[in-house]
């Protein structure tokens, strides 16, 4: 198949491009390089089945493809809050453009949605039938509400125009090729630990997250795209839940760091708990994560260590 990956030069997108090429597909990676990087895909450039297009999905484009994975959107709070209006445009106008293309060329389209559609959840763990608890006017809203509208658009193009859609809700994912400057907890803590600097826990560290290794996520994404008769939304994530304080301690142990933990103010609207219920994914896709946190964090720390050694 000919497959378009928007946001293909980003963290998750680059792993997805690699896996799809490995399966023998033609892959078009489309990216405006806002948070992505050529470094993430440089190793794919010699493959004659790989093409790269510099383009912003806020502008229309027409490509003849069979599948569209719509990942283009900054994902870390630091990046999506840098230009919040642009973040909304990317999720809303960008998704309309990709859905328009899917409609014209009869491609199947998968939207990378997020656990953020549940906001600061009052149901725990989160199931797909929960409608969420999202602040519409806060500093995270550009991302959360943008992704919620993107889901609405997917469903309306499906109902109104018969577009073949899939929706996945991704929970915190980590691994090699995360941007070093993205301010997310995994990259921050690993870089701090490797440099023996203080580890910055926001709030008292009692908030929870559940971290999924990128290879597991990519497997779930492809299974969902190729699943017949099920459009989602479906949660994809690792249900193993940790407090952020426990997470900091784990990273210190794994990296053998001399770092100390310090506490900083909690950002506005920071969700207090997050854990996916993945029963639906297991039932419909036969999917569950296989890489445990220690193994995944070890690989991620090796990646960051190698990069800083290079620099």
Residues that bind ligand NAD (CB under 6 A): 6-7, 9-13, 31-36, 56-58, 71-75, 90, 94, 112, 114, 170, 172-173, 179
Select the residue interacting with ligand UDP from 201, 218, 222, 252 (CB under 6 A): 201
Per-residue binding string, ligand UDP, 269-288, x by CB under 6 A, is: -x------------------
**For residues 148 and 257, which CB has a smaller minimum distance to ligand NAD in the complex?**
148
Q: Give the binding range for ligand UDP (CB under 6 A) out of 122-130, 195-203, 216-224, 303-311.
A: 195-203
In the complex, minimum distance from the CB of residue 143 to ligand UDP, in angstroms, rounded to a whole number? 8
Q: In a 10 Å sphere around its CB, with 0-12 CB exposed, 13-18 middle and 19+ buried, how is residue 161 labelled?
A: exposed
Contact partner, 50, from ligand UDP, ligand NAD, none, Cβ < 5-8 Å per class: none
Cβ 116 vs Cβ 81: under 8 Å: no
In the complex, minimum distance from the CB of residue 282 to ligand UDP, in angstroms, rounded to a whole number? 23
Contact partner, 267, from ligand UDP, ligand NAD, none, Cβ < 5-8 Å per class: ligand UDP
Q: Give the binding range for ligand UDP (CB under 6 A) out of 6-14, 200-208, 286-294, 300-308.
A: 200-208
Q: In the 3-class helix/strand/coil scheme, how is the chain assigned residue by residue?
A: CEEEEECCCCHHHHHHHHHHHHCCCEEEEEECCCCCCHHHCHHHCCCCCEEEEECCCCCCCCCCCCEEEECCCCCCHHHHCCCHHHHHHHHHHHHHHHHHHHHHHCCEEEEEEEHHHHECCCCCCECCCCCCECCCCCCCHHHHHHHHHHHHHHHHHHHHHCCCEEEEEECCEECCCCCCCCCCHHHHHHHHHHCCCCEEEECCCCCEEECEEHHHHHHHHHHHHHCCCCCCCEEECCCCEEEHHHHHHHHHHHHCCCCCEEEECCCCCCCCCCCECCHHHHHHHCCCCCCCHHHHHHHHHHHHHHHHHHC
In the complex, minimum distance from the CB of residue 38 to ligand NAD, in angstroms, rounded to a whole number? 10
Site for ligand UDP in 13-72 (CB under 6 A): none
Cite the active site residues.
143
In the complex, minimum distance from the CB of residue 291 to ligand NAD, in angstroms, rounded to a whole number? 15
Select the residue interacting with ligand UDP from 172, 173, 275, 277 (CB under 6 A): 172
Check residue 141 for interaction with ligand UDP (CB under 6 A): no
By DSSP bridging, strand 165-170 and strand 234-236 are parallel
Check residue 207 for interaction with ligand UDP (CB under 6 A): yes
The count of other CB atoms within 10 Å of the CB of residue 122 is 12
**For residues 210 and 257, which CB has a smaller minimum distance to ligand NAD in the complex?**
210
Select the residue interacting with ligand UDP from 158, 209, 210, 273 (CB under 6 A): 209
Q: Give the binding range for ligand UDP (CB under 6 A) out of 20-28, 253-261, 266-274, 292-300.
A: 266-274
The token pair that represents 70 in the structure block:
């719509």
In the complex, minimum distance from the CB of residue 28 to ligand UDP, in angstroms, rounded to a whole number? 28
Contact partner, 10, from ligand UDP, ligand NAD, none, Cβ < 5-8 Å per class: ligand NAD
Look at phi and psi of residue 225 and say left if phi exceeds 0, alpha if psi is from -120 to 50, else beta: alpha
Interacting residues with ligand UDP (CB under 6 A): 76-77, 172, 184-185, 188, 200-202, 207, 209, 244, 266-267, 270
């Amino acid at each position: 198949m000919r497959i378009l990956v928007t946001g293909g030069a980003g963290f998750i997108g680059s792993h997805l491009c690699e896996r799809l090429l490995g399966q023998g597909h033609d892959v078009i990676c489309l990216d405006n390089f806002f948070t992505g990087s050529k470094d993430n895909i440089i190793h794919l450039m010699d493959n004659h089945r790989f093409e790269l297009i510099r383009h912003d999905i806020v502008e229309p484009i027409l490509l003849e493809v069979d599948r569209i994975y719509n990942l283009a959107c900054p994902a870390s709070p630091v990046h999506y809050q840098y230009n919040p209006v642009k973040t909304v445009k990317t999720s809303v106008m960008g998704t309309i453009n990709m859905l328009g293309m899917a409609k014209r060329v009869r491609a199947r389209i998968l939207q990378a949605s997020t656990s953020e559609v549940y906001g600061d959840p009052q149901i725990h763990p989160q199931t797909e039938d929960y409608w969420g608890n999202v602040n519409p006017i806060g500093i995270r809203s550009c991302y959360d509400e943008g992704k919620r509208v993107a889901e609405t658009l997917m469903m309306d193009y499906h109902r109104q125009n018969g577009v073949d859609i899939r929706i996945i809700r991704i929970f915190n994912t980590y691994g090699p090729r995360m941007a070093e400057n993205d301010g997310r907890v995994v990259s921050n803590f690993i870089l701090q630990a490797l440099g023996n600097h203080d580890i910055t826990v926001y709030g008292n560290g009692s908030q929870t997250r559940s971290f999924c290794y990128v290879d597991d996520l990519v497997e779930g994404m492809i299974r969902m795209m190729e699943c017949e008769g099920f459009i989602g939304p479906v949660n994809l994530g690792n249900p193993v839940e940790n407090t952020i304080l426990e997470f900091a301690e784990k990273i210190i142990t794994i990296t053998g760091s001399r770092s100390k933990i310090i506490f900083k103010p909690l950002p506005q609207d920071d969700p207090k708990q997050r854990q996916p219920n993945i029963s639906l994914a297991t039932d419909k896709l036969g999917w569950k994560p296989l890489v445990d946190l220690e193994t995944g964090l070890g690989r991620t720390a090796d990646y960051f260590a190698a990069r800083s050694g290079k620099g």
